[in-house]
Amino acid sequence: MQPLHIAVIIGSTREGRVGDGVGRWVAEVAAEREDVEPVVLDLADYDFPPCYPAQPTAEVRRFTGQVAAADGFVVVTPEYNRSFPASLKQAIDHAYDEWHAKPVGFASYGYRSEGLHAVEHLRSVFTELHVMTVRTTVGVNLLVDEPLDTEHRRRAAEAMFDQLTWWASALKDARTRRPYVS
Ligand SMILES: Cc1cc2nc3c(=O)[nH]c(=O)nc-3n(C[C@H](O)[C@H](O)[C@H](O)COP(=O)(O)O)c2cc1C
């Protein structure tokens, strides 16, 4: 089987963010699997327009092109005020068809809730975009002083990728056989 193209989207663009470290670790776990070819989409690398443009800018098209090329996604999100950051919503809203009939998994972080409030809001957003959200999430409680690559987190990441690749493969086949109806 050809490896699946999975985009790891780093959602925080905050100065001094911890999200790039979490995103890199998720991409490393993905790269160790034979069924996944990860590409990191770091939202800090995109110069999105401050106001939603009437026509997509070159940077918007660069982002939506990467979304279109992916078979599935892992969204790496912090929790900001019980939700996900505005930088992530801005990026998500720039694409539409490009998301359709693909799966997304989540790696979230924050304080005690490990970013799960952000994930629950993202599930609702992705439903509108015809995206299948996988059940198992990878969570990081930033108040616990431990490395990212613990045994329990690695197990969660592998389970998340097992579910994500199952859906990515199934939906890729289905999209090839019959255009998705939205
Ligand atoms: C504006 C803002 C709001 C936050 N709200 C929450 C919150 O509701 N729950 C939580 O667990 N952590 C919250 N935090 C803590 C963040 O999860 C933590 O700072 C994390 O490092 C942010 O991710 P980043 O460093 O990749 O931007 C908040 C942080 C910021 C900057």
Using DSSP's 3-state secondary structure scheme, residue 128 falls into helix
Q: What is the dihedral of CA 163, 104, 158, 114, to 10 degrees?
A: -130
Question: Which class for 51: exposed (0-12), middle (13-18), buried (19 or more C-beta within 10 A)?
Answer: exposed
Q: Whose CA is nearest to atom 26 of ligand 1?
A: 19
Give the per-residue pLDDT at 182: 83
- Atom of ligand 1 at shortest distance to CA of 17? 25
Is the CB of 80 inside a 6 Å radius of any atom of ligand 1? yes
Separation in Å, CA 93 to CA 8, 45, 55, 97, 122: 17, 17, 13, 11, 12
The answer to whether residue 127 is domain-embedded is yes
Taking CA atoms only, the protein residue closest to ligand 1 atom 3 is: 80
**Domain presence at residue 182:** no
Residue 112 placed within a domain: yes
- Select from 111, 113, 116 the residue to mutate for testing ligand 1; criterion: most ligand atoms less than 8 Å from CB: 111
Q: Measured from the CA of 81, which atom of ligand 1 is nearest?
A: 8
Output the domain CATH number for residue 42. 3.40.50.360
> Which residue's alpha carbon is at the smallest distance from atom 25 of ligand 1?
17
Domain count, the chain: 1
Among all chains, which residue has been given the structure tokens 């892992």? 74
The minimum-distance atom of ligand 1 relative to the CA of 82 is 8
Q: Distance between CA 146 and CA 179 in Å, rounded? A: 45
Mutate to test the pocket of ligand 1, among 43, 80, 116 (most ligand atoms within 8 A of CB): 80
pTM over 0.75: yes
How high is the pLDDT of residue 98?
A: 98
How many CB atoms are located within 10 Å of the residue 144 CB?
Answer: 10
The rounded average pLDDT for each run of 10 residues, N- to C-terminus, in the chain (182 residues) is 96 98 98 98 98 97 98 98 98 98 98 97 98 98 98 98 98 97 88
Whether 126 is in a domain gets the answer yes
- Does residue 22 sit within a domain? yes
CA 126 / ligand 1 centre spacing (Å)? 21
Q: How many CB atoms are closer than 10 A to CB 62?
A: 14
Give the chain's length: 182
Inside any domain, residue 87? yes
Q: Where in the sequence is the domain holding 67, given as residue range(s)?
A: 4-177
What residues contact residue 154 under an 8 Å CB cut-off, 6+ apart? 29
